[in-house]
Structure 1
């Protein structure tokens, strides 16, 4: 008698859970909205609530940034701040060594220049030498092509405004494209022959550094200093100590919030490259960051589920499985407040031609907070949100 009861109990414990009518209805809705789509929904206990085509590897596009953010939080920590170092020799030549700060935007350059002028004094600077050696000059991100589109901006040790320039051309006159950013000689030259708008400095590291130097010089002038000499590229002399170190006002956590909100490919790969640079030392390289990333993926059992080639999702050679990304979302759950989806939700979209993805967390009435992965073929981005609403309302 007892043996039969024990056998029955074991059978009940090991038997697969039966699909409830509610879950069956949700699955039918998902299948009706996107019969060929990849959809996976899991609760906090790891139970798969919805799984459609979940074993198919997919191109993640910008949901790759979720993996980059997780790796960055694990490797660098949320309080990490990027640094840019300034040196002054006896002839008042200013040397600037870039540290890969992804957020050297105009709003950051204003307090930077004020701190720098406070440290160097108001006497004229003889010239500026830009040291971008923390990033090799030949570094290239797979998927980034040579166009002036902002999402193709070149990654750099020392770049300003996401390595892009905004300006307005009015006849032969070139005006600032944004009130907070002065027009520099390089910006004027570029936009005399180009359309108004925002362009990337996509392939020329020297041009990228030149623009950074010109904008830093302009902000030094606005802060009460001046630069009399030329702007050149070189190295900080051995033994020269920094006179001023600018620590980015945003912590890594704050940068990641902006990354999730704006999905900037340049920021994503600056952060991704810093993962390797901090762990293995400079100069940075994709190989170093991929080594650190793959070690972490292997340690968490994700080596075969997450194949990452770069940190933004611009490369189509990134390949994830739904269960692999759902596992990353489980690890990243303590940092879910870093998500600031454009729809107000805790999610990240991904978009490439023929690829529409969506992943993150959503709150439900019966199953609490669930994590989800959606990948669709085609160019209709609205369906992924219709799927998410159908899932959230049904659970």
Structure 2
């Protein structure tokens, strides 16, 4: 263990280097927020470190820390299937954020084995785990994939990815069957082309798409669905014929969440935190209650203000010192971060906002924690600031 005099001596020896880094940071981003701390919490560079800023997607680091603390890295989301004596199939959503085609294919095989080959007389979708009036601050009512509606039961991140040529519509990915609703939604979008659209305007539409896609994979596996798809609740006392546990543990979901910065996944995870700790159904208020209690317990109540789990809301406010302390708490899970530059970091991007936070390895101070928050739309500048920090320390 290093003794305090040795630590002090090393800090004194590195003082000129730190002064040089501070000068470079001030030249590159004179009005920006920049904080760098070492593993002991010593501040190596501090510029506007107490000024509140809009975190954008670096808020997902805090969501990931909360999720690891409350749910644990081995946690798996569940979706339950029930069959009544009329052979009506009920699907109760559990908020699984990764019910994607690659997950639905083996699920379809398991479901076909569970229900048998006799025709299914109808499919009833039960979304009651989520409130019907759920609204996430920052999610706009448009067709952008990053604004996808959160749901107890949704497939492929509540989006449709398809190609249109004239009146013909086909799936843009070989693993995903095209369904009648998908065709109708893509045609309604207008001109030819390829793209991913979100199902944000009508929860019933996204639920029906989930029902169509689950039915398609069930039929691929040898099952048959002859009846209608509707929305309802599972009858009291009916036992599940299949409980599907997501093949990806939470730790793997968080890697994808942080790498791709998927807002839909971030808020599915954030909503699960509240329901897991305070009981179902989910609510944004429950998750914020749990999050705020945990932040307060770690001395972060005044420095980290969340409004949801993705960073979409411009009402969120962080300070650099607060986020640096959150990075210290998240440090055991730092390897979940996969930055675009190959580093252990996360970007945040909104109009007029560019943020970057995470961990960097330096020759003089080992692994440091850093927070960079800049006004403007120059996304490369935050990385130039980071490179100056890495080179100087």
Residue in 2 aligned with 1:100? 95
2:209 is the alignment partner of 1:211 = yes
Whole-Å separation in 2 of the counterparts to 1:374 and 1:114: 47
Query: How far off its partner does 1:286 sit?
Result: 0.5
Whole-Å separation in 1 of the counterparts to 2:347 and 2:211: 35
When Rg is computed on C-alpha atoms for both structures, the one with the higher figure is 1
SS of equivalent to 2:188: coil
Aligned partner (choices 261, 264, 267) of residue 265 of structure 2:
267
SS of equivalent to 1:293: helix
Residues 250-329 of structure 1 aligned to structure 2 (within 5 Å): 250-329=248-327
Residue in 1 aligned with 2:177? 182
Structure 2 length as normaliser, TM-score? 0.96
SS of equivalent to 1:20: helix
Residue in 1 aligned with 2:156? 161
2:139 is the alignment partner of 1:144 = yes
Query: How far off its partner does 1:17 sit?
Result: 6.5
For each residue in 1:225-282, what CA deviation from the matched residue of structure 2 results, as whole angstroms up to 9, or x when unmatched? 1101100000000000000000000000000000110000000000000000111111
Query: How far off its partner does 1:124 sit?
Result: 1.4
Whole-Å separation in 2 of the counterparts to 1:248 and 1:299: 31
C-alpha RMSD over aligned residues: 1.6
Q: Structure 2, unaligned stretches of length 5 or more?
A: none
4+ long deviations beyond 2 Å: 16-19
Query: How far off its partner does 1:203 sit?
Result: 2.6
SS of equivalent to 1:85: strand
Whole-Å separation in 1 of the counterparts to 2:45 and 2:225: 62
2:60 is the alignment partner of 1:60 = no
Structure 1 length as normaliser, TM-score? 0.95
Report how many aligned residue pairs link the two structures: 384
2:70 is the alignment partner of 1:72 = no
2:21 is the alignment partner of 1:26 = yes
SS of equivalent to 1:69: helix
Residue in 2 aligned with 1:379? 377
Residue in 1 aligned with 2:186? 191
Residue in 1 aligned with 2:225? 227
Query: How far off its partner does 1:140 sit?
Result: 0.7
For each residue in 1:282-321, what CA deviation from the matched residue of structure 2 results, as whole angstroms up to 9, or x when unmatched? 1111000000001101111111111000000000000001
Whole-Å separation in 2 of the counterparts to 1:329 and 1:363: 14
